[in-house]
Amino acid sequence: MAIPTSKAELKEYALRRLGKPVLEINVSDDQVDDAIDYTIQKFQQYHYDGAQRCYLKHKVTQDVIDRSESNTTSTSKAGNDTWLEGNGYIEIPDHILSIEGIFSFTDKGTSNMFDIRYQMRLNDLYDFTSTQFYHYYMIQQHLSTIDFLLEGIKPVRYHSVQDRLYLDFDWPQDAQLDQYIVIKAWRALDPTTWTEIYNQMWVKDYASAKIKKQWGQNLTKFQSVQMPGGITLNGEMIYNDAVEELKNLDEQLRTTWETPPLDMIG
């Protein structure tokens, strides 16, 4: 059994699956590349094996602090009002899909039994029983507001299209030079590094179906394409079969392979 470990090997695997070299697959190399690139992107976005939680740190430099004190100017549509937006952000690598937050700036290494966080947890766990664990876990997942007030967690804003992490605080006051900002994020796994992605069953099935759809779409431009030996290819049937396969694979991705949201129950 072929085990593709690169984009080129996955391309050949998918084409053989569709009938190459017995049949001529009427798709260009660029169309095949587009189908595989789309498959990998969807795998990274929705499949739980396509992304990984990571912790990244970024050193605060003087340039970042200086930029945070500047503003981007914009005007209203009529041109009468001027708006200023602070540039208090740090640049984020483009493979980051989402950011859950940043770690507190407080020094946890100096915590002791008189620290407020220690006393709060001690009070929580004083008469703790096994039946209370799940309730305690759910409550802790929704204490971001309290954490912000007591531990100094800073509000953040992030959008993957911009690749900028905005930190809404007083940079000259709160950020210290050469201090590290540590973020908790999800990053897309690079298939050129983690080549097992090319051999994932869903990736192979979806890439083959995407190429098949393009093949059928190309053939629909010509009715009743006749191959050597008198064989006639039905482009519309190939296209419709591929559409149905992609529909089933998309449903499988969202119901079986996607990481479920952490909803509060009870």
Q: What is the pLDDT of residues 78-115, one digit of tens each?
A: 878 899 999 999 999 999 999 988 886 655 444 455 55
Dihedral angle of Cα 123, 142, 159, 152, to the nearest 10 degrees:
-30
Residue 194 pLDDT > 70: yes
Q: What pLDDT, on a 0 to 100 scale, did the predictor assign at position 259? A: 81
Q: Read off the pLDDT band of 152 (50, 70, 90).
A: very low
Structure tokens at 221: 């431009």
33 and 111 belong to one structural domain: no
Of 96 and 230, the structure prediction assigns the larger pLDDT to 96
Please identify, among 131, 162, 188, the residue that sits at the C-terminal boundary of a domain.
188
87 and 146 belong to one structural domain: yes
Of 227 and 43, the structure prediction assigns the larger pLDDT to 43
Question: Which whole-number Å values give the CA distances from 191 to 3, 95, 194, in the listed order?
Answer: 14, 12, 5
Please indicate, yes or no, if residue 84 is contained in any of the structural domains: yes
Please indicate, yes or no, if residue 116 is contained in any of the structural domains: yes
Contact 91, 181 (CB under 8 A): no
Of 104 and 199, the structure prediction assigns the larger pLDDT to 199
Which residues, 6+ apart, have CB-to-CB distance to 10 below 8 Å?
A: 4, 36, 198, 203, 204, 207
Please indicate, yes or no, if residue 266 is contained in any of the structural domains: no
Peptide bond into 261 cis (omega under 30): no
H/E stretch holding 30 reads: helix 29-46
Percent of the chain with pLDDT over 70: 74
Cα–Cα distance between 189 and 201 in angstroms, integer?
Answer: 17
113 and 154 belong to one structural domain: yes
Please indicate, yes or no, if residue 262 is contained in any of the structural domains: no
63 and 130 belong to one structural domain: yes
Cβ-based neighbour number of residue 195 at 10 Å: 16
Average pLDDT, the chain: 83
Please indicate, yes or no, if residue 134 is contained in any of the structural domains: yes
Please indicate, yes or no, if residue 22 is contained in any of the structural domains: yes
Cβ-defined contacts of 171-178 (< 8 Å, 24+): 171/64, 171/65, 171/68, 171/69, 171/88, 172/65, 172/68, 172/69, 174/105, 175/60, 175/64, 175/65, 175/68, 176/60, 177/60, 177/61, 177/62, 177/65, 178/59, 178/60, 178/61
Contact 86, 71 (CB under 8 A): yes
Nearest to 52 by CA among 90, 98, 5: 98
91 and 143 belong to one structural domain: yes
Please indicate, yes or no, if residue 128 is contained in any of the structural domains: yes
Cα–Cα distance between 52 and 183 in angstroms, integer?
Answer: 14
Cα–Cα distance between 34 and 42 in angstroms, integer?
Answer: 12
Q: 201 in helix, strand or coil?
A: helix
181 and 97 belong to one structural domain: yes
164 and 251 belong to one structural domain: no
Please indicate, yes or no, if residue 129 is contained in any of the structural domains: yes
Segment 194-215 mean pLDDT: 97
Please identify, among 169, 188, 207, the residue that sits at the C-terminal boundary of a domain.
188
Cα–Cα distance between 134 and 126 in angstroms, integer?
Answer: 16
120 and 131 belong to one structural domain: yes
Range of the domain at 122: 51-188
23 and 90 belong to one structural domain: no
H/E stretch holding 138 reads: helix 133-140
Segment 235-262 mean pLDDT: 91
pTM of the model: 0.76
215 and 245 belong to one structural domain: yes
Please identify, among 188, 206, 233, the residue that sits at the C-terminal boundary of a domain.
188
Domain count for the chain = 2
Q: 116 in helix, strand or coil?
A: helix
139 and 67 belong to one structural domain: yes
Q: Which amino acid is at 52?
A: Q
59 and 183 belong to one structural domain: yes
